[in-house]
Amino acid sequence: MRSKLDMMWVIATLLLVGVAQAAIPNVMHHGKPSLPQIPVPERPVTSPNGTALPPITTIYYFEQLIDHNDPGLGTFQQRYWMDWEFYEPGGPIILMTPGESNAVGFQAYLTNVTIIGLIAQQQKGAAVVVEHRFFGDSNPYDNLTSQSLAVLTIQQAVDDLVYFATTADLPMPGGDAVKPGQAPWVLVGGSYSGALTSWTMVNKPGIFWAGYASSAVVEAITYVNFIAATARITLTR
């Protein structure tokens, strides 16, 4: 039989977990940190020489590798959007992903109402928004089985950004000759995609000329630690 001390520990643990679980909805009520959507400016887009450009809501597709560790598995269509209204030859390519969101509705990040577009404008560059794998319509598989989700990892997401930068032929004039080594690329992100920017700069050095990470959540914690931390916060109130 368990001693009274053992029973007290069991009861205390159950109470602690119960308090923590009750507190989680209150914490999650505020929502996960993510990039906010910004209204897309309704205006015609032209190049520096006055040529009319496609609307920034135009969807382009890139053949992204399903598994960067096994290219033989083939590719999937990864969606992306682009604005080159400020671009002049020699300018940088500014790349960002909204991260864990459908990328539709994030096209305003291509314009100069955001830091991404401002960098493009100041440096005479072009801006690209690429959809993260498994979000929106950029899906390697049409299901969410454990086998499919095995390719939903930080490393695969990092490799997606690198493979896009080093392989994509962009739709703008001369877009097949602006890969890293031919033009400077700048990686930008916020919240999770900011962390992804930081991790990419460390994990794949030399690809991107610079990285800009806003509110990057670079430290991960386990669910158990989250339970304990939430319980401590709740019990001290």
Q: Where does the pLDDT of residue 51 fall: very low under 50, low under 70, confident under 90, or very high at 90 and above?
A: confident
Residue scoring higher pLDDT (93 or 44): 93
Judged by average pLDDT, the poorest of 49-53, 130-134, 188-192 is: 49-53
Name the pTM for this structure.
0.77
Would you give the end-to-end CA distance of the chain in angstroms? Answer: 36
The rounded distance, in Å, linking the Cα atoms of 133 and 79 is: 9
pLDDT tens-digit series, residues 172-187: 999 999 999 999 999 9
What does DSSP assign to residue 147? H
Q: How many CA atoms lie within 13 A of 115 on its CB side?
A: 12
Residue 214 confidence (pLDDT): 87
Q: Where in the chain is the domain with CATH 3.40.50.1820?
A: 60-214
- 124 conformational bin, left if phi > 0, alpha if psi -120 to 50, beta if neither: left
Q: How many CB atoms lie within 10 A of CB 29?
A: 7
Q: What is the mean pLDDT of residues 128-152?
A: 95
Second-level CATH architecture of 60-214: 3-Layer(aba) Sandwich (3.40)
The one-letter code for the residue type at 183 is A
The rounded distance, in Å, linking the Cα atoms of 189 and 98 is: 7
Give the full edge-to-edge strand order of the sheet including 93-96: 60-65, 75-83, 126-130, 93-96, 185-190, 210-214
Tell me the two tokens of residue 221: 């914690």
The rounded distance, in Å, linking the Cα atoms of 223 and 44 is: 47
> Are 80 and 128 in contact, with CB atoms under 8 Å apart?
yes
Q: Give the bridge partners for 80, in sequence order.
A: 60, 130
